[in-house]
Amino acid sequence: MIEALRTLFAPAPPLPVQLALPCGVLPLHVCRNPRARRLSLRVCAATRSVRLTVPARLGEAHALAFLERHHDWLLRETAARLPAPVPFAPGTRLPVAGRELLLLEGEGRVARLVDGALRVPGRDSVYAGRVKRWLREEALLLLDRETRLLAATIGRPVQQVRVGDFRSRWGSCSSDGRIAYSWRLLLAPPFVRRAVVAHEVAHLVELNHGPGFWRLATRLLGGRHDEARRWLKANAPLLLRYGATR
C-alpha cells in the first residue's frame, strides 16, 4: 500500500488511491493545507471516502508513517461508520416508502414496477443507473405531492420541488419557496420522510429555527420531531450505502 500511496504526494497525482477495506473499496484523498498544524485522518460517511489532511511543509515520510500507525483505527472507524454497501443489482431488496421492493432483471430500456418487483433491463452500471433513475423519479413524485398538500393547509405556495443526491442535508427551503430534498428519503421510514417534509414546509413561513418555527413544524407533523431527528442522526450511513459499489 505504501508504494501506491506515494503517488498521492507527486506534483499532480493521477487518481486517489483505492483502499480495500472490509466495508468496501474507498478512495483516499490527500489535502495539503497551509493552515493545518498537524496531520489528521477522517472517514466521510457521506462520500464513502477517507481524507488525509497534511500540513503544507510536512514531509512525505511523516505522512506515510502516520497512515501506517493509524491502520487499525481506520479499520475500526470504517467498520463503525460505513455499513456494507447495498449495490443496485438483481436480487437486492430495498425499503421504498415503507414497503419492500425486490430488484429483478427486466427487458426493454426502462425500469418497470410489476407485481411488487422492479424489473430493470441492463447489466452492471447500466442496471444500477436505471434503478437510481427510477428511485429519483418516484421520490420526486411522492415528495412533491406531500409537500404541496401540506403547504396548502397553511396557504403557502410552493414554487418548485426537486430532488438531488445531497450528502450533508436531507432538505432545504429557499426564501422564494423552492424546496429541495434528498431522494434517499424514499428509502427512509415514512415517519422520517414526513418529518422532513413538515420541517421544510414550516420554512415557507419561518426561515429560521426559532420557537415559532418549531411550533409550526410540530403542528404540521402532528407531533414532535425528536424521533425522526434521532433516526436520521443514527441511521444516515444506512441510507447512504444504497447504490454504493463494493
How confident is the model over 178-212, as pLDDT tens digits? 999 999 999 999 999 999 999 999 999 999 999 99
pLDDT at 168: 76
What is the dihedral angle through the alpha carbons of 89, 91, 95, 101, rounded to the nearest 10 degrees?
A: 110
| Residue-wise pLDDT tens digits, 80-138 | 888 888 999 999 999 999 999 999 999 998 999 999 899 999 999 999 999 999 999 99
Indicate the domain borders of the chain. 2-81, 137-240
**CATH code at 137-240:** 3.30.2010.10
Nearest to 113, CA basis, from 123, 19, 97, 125: 97
Record the cell numbers describing residue 92, joined without a space.
Answer: 437486492
First to last CA, the chain: 19
Task: Tell me how long the chain is.
Answer: 246
- How confident is the prediction for the chain on average, in pLDDT? 90
Q: Could you give the C-alpha distances from 199 to 188, 191, 204, 207, in angstroms and in order? A: 16, 12, 9, 11
pLDDT at 147: 98
Beta strands in 88-243 (DSSP E): 93-96, 99-105, 112-114, 117-120, 160-164, 171-173, 178-182
Record the cell numbers describing residue 124, joined without a space.
Answer: 452492471
Sequence-ordered list of residues with C-beta below 8 angstroms from that of 46, at least 6 positions apart, any chain: 167, 168, 236, 240
Q: Which residues of 96-115 are buried (b: 16+ CB within 10 A; e: fewer)?
A: beeeebebeebeeeebeeee
**Rounded CA separation 10/19 (Å):** 18
Record the cell numbers describing residue 27, joined without a space.
Answer: 478512495
Record the cell numbers describing residue 136, joined without a space.
Answer: 429519483
| Residue-wise pLDDT tens digits, 224-241 | 999 999 999 888 888 988
pLDDT at 10: 54
Helix (H, G, I), strand (E, B) or coil at 159: coil
Q: What is the DSSP letter of 177?
A: S
**C-beta neighbour count of 4 within 10 angstroms:** 11
Do 161 and 204 form a contact (C-beta atoms < 8 A)?
A: no
pLDDT at 11: 52
**Rounded CA separation 8/201 (Å):** 45
**Rounded CA separation 40/27 (Å):** 16
- For the ranges 18-22, 27-31, 179-183, the lowest mean pLDDT is seen at 18-22
